Structure 1
């Protein structure tokens, strides 16, 4: 199901290939991000955003989208005449109505609240889990603020292993303005130093 679609692009020289994953029932969020980049590279994203029927640009956008969706979905959206309508139809099929979206958001937020770093996880493992929930939430229209990510991250670390660095960071930094990336960098540095000591 995770087929890769390869596209050749010639821009001022030799060909380079861009890969976009085939849309499946479970990868809509990532697929949507990648198709947006692919359409931008081909300079046709604007027809998806504004829906003017620019002839060739619209056709190019539809062709690229159709290359990365399953045949059954091609049949469902094949009659639509603009790239925007095609994208909106795909999004509504995968994101669902408002009630479904709200239910998914509630489940994501509950998962976010329950999330704790295991003793066996690395900082990268745990950051990956938080980032995944954050990007899924953004795709559903709810952005988790950086300060909330920082607080969640620090409060979810195993106390035995990280109590000293968390206490130091809380004393030294203003967590309301410190970025999530900055905290991750500091914790990764600490994790590496502890690993060297051990």
Structure 2
């Protein structure tokens, strides 16, 4: 909504609470179009776009005390978040981004350094310890780009997945080869003729009738 108001050159009347006719009216109309009818009834008597904006913000973000409580909950969730062994990089990044977006909406932006460090710390150590150690030595985590680090880990994840798939195929091939070998018992050959079964034991052939 903020970007829309900026794009239409009317954000200034919200930012500085101007009563300039056309711009104020346009900004107010755009705000009214973005909220449910029940809320329009509550803010319809406000005479500036700034007042409408603040009313919406208070309704959705809440008072400072409520906002702080929500932020604290998000911080706790952020600190506890770890990637599960069964998760993919994209799953974990999605959870981090979701918390970051909620925090920004509440007025507390998470810088890239914080996201990068949390991302690397939250990865399963057993699976990613080698690549994490390499990145920690190679990059300055205080200035590293979050998307760049994520891209490197995704490439590593795909490589590991390809190697595991190749190993699985090799194991299956070995198993199929093993199952296709003829089975012998007591060093001889067991078969069935027309008259019954026969066993080859050394030079003697014993024939058993039906």
Q: How many Å apart are 1:143 and its aligned residue?
A: 2.1
> What pairs up with 1:28-177 in 2 under 5 angstroms?
35-177=1-143
Distance 2:2 2:162 in 1: 42
Q: How many Å apart are 1:75 and its aligned residue?
A: 0.4
Q: TM-score, normalised by structure 1?
A: 0.77
Q: How many Å apart are 1:148 and its aligned residue?
A: 1.7
Aligned residues, how many? Answer: 164
Bigger mean CA offset, 54-63 vs 40-49: 40-49
Distance 1:127 1:53 in 2: 43
Secondary structure of 2:45's aligned partner: coil
Q: How many Å apart are 1:191 and its aligned residue?
A: 1.9
Where do 5+ consecutive residues of structure 2 fail to align?
Answer: 166-210
Distance 1:84 1:64 in 2: 12
Structure with bigger RCO (C-alpha 8 Å, 6+ apart): 1
Q: Is the counterpart of residue 183 in structure 1 residue 159 in structure 2?
A: no
Q: How many Å apart are 1:147 and its aligned residue?
A: 1.8
Where do 5+ consecutive residues of structure 1 fail to align?
Answer: 1-34
Secondary structure of 1:174's aligned partner: coil
Match of 2:158?
192
Q: How many Å apart are 1:106 and its aligned residue?
A: 0.6
Distance 1:46 1:176 in 2: 34
Cα RMSD of the aligned pairs, angstroms, is 1.4
> What pairs up with 1:10-21 in 2 under 5 angstroms?
none
Distance 1:68 1:92 in 2: 15
Q: TM-score, normalised by structure 2?
A: 0.73
Distance 1:112 1:92 in 2: 24
